[in-house]
Homo-oligomer: A and B are copies of this chain.
């Protein structure tokens, strides 16, 4: 006999729909705010953040792809846009002739520095202000468990 689908029970269904609406709503809101205030989508903001935290504000493309959890292709397209905006530039990698380094420009750093306070405020207003300290902790554990599950499979 074929295995029957274990459908979601009403509690799970409610959780799933609430999660969908909250996580999508949150990301859409932050994306829109960042687009409006800094002229970039959230994904590009994150790339600039990672670069700003790297030694010499530069990083190999593949490392940057791993850290931002994006495909090489996605990062490559994004880098083209970021370079056209003047926020990063590319340099040859001295130790691997296949490699490229993404380097945050001064202008990119300045743009990031200008965008960061508003964005952090947004994350606070839309996420953390809605949660108790205990819930923040719960959300961290839940997120880490889900992320681990994804990496395991």
Residues of A near any B CB (own CB < 8 A): 5-8, 11-12, 14-16, 18-27, 29, 46, 69, 116-117, 120-121, 123-131, 135-150, 153
CB neighbours of A127 from chain B (8 A): 16, 19, 146, 149
Please report the C-alpha to C-alpha distance between residue A19 and residue B123 in the assembled complex, in whole angstroms: 12
Please report the C-alpha to C-alpha distance between residue A26 and residue B19 in the assembled complex, in whole angstroms: 11
Q: A25-B147, A120-B8, A153-B125 are in contact. Are A19 and B131 (CB under 8 A)?
A: no
> In the complex, are the beta carbons of B26 and A146 less than 8 A apart?
yes
CB neighbours of A149 from chain B (8 A): 125-127, 129-130
Main secondary structure of the interface of A (DSSP, over half): helix
> In the complex, are the beta carbons of A128 and B12 less than 8 A apart?
yes
**Distance to closest chain B CB from A130 (angstroms):** 4
CB neighbours of A128 from chain B (8 A): 8, 12
CB neighbours of A6 from chain B (8 A): 120-121, 124
CB neighbours of A46 from chain B (8 A): 20
